[in-house]
């Protein structure tokens, strides 16, 4: 499992916890959990973008002349 997948699983768990918190009337706590989940998702997307950029072969400057 990739690190991005792990971050998404953590986000999923936080959303599940947020739903339970909301059911129990803990709205502020639920909002905090959702915000944390969103940050995990953003981190996963940024990680994947960085990995994709690192895997891309370097451009050949001679080719553009």
Q: How far apart are alpha carbons 44 and 18 in whole angstroms?
A: 20
Considering the domain boundaries, does residue 64 fall inside one? Answer: no
Considering the domain boundaries, does residue 18 fall inside one? Answer: yes
Q: What is the pLDDT of residue 20?
A: 98
Q: What is the pLDDT of residue 63?
A: 64
Number of domains in the chain: 1
Dump pLDDT digits (tens) for 16-63.
999 999 999 999 999 999 999 999 999 999 999 998 888 777 677 666
Q: How far apart are alpha carbons 30 and 24 in whole angstroms?
A: 10
Considering the domain boundaries, does residue 62 fall inside one? Answer: no
Q: Domain range spanning residue 52?
A: 3-57
Considering the domain boundaries, does residue 32 fall inside one? Answer: yes
Considering the domain boundaries, does residue 31 fall inside one? Answer: yes
Contacts of 1 (CB under 8 A, 6+ apart): 9
Mean pLDDT in the chain? 91
Considering the domain boundaries, does residue 63 fall inside one? Answer: no
Quick one: what percent of the chain has pLDDT higher than 90?
74
Helix axes 27-55, 3-23, angle to 10 degrees: 170
């Amino acid at each position: 499992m990739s690190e991005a997948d792990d971050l998404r699983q953590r986000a999923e768990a936080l959303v599940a916890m947020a739903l339970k918190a909301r059911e129990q009337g803990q709205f502020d706590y639920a909002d905090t959990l959702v915000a944390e989940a969103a940050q995990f998702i953003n981190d996963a997307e940024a990680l994947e973008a960085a990995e994709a950029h690192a895997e891309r072969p370097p451009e050949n400057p001679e080719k553009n002349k």
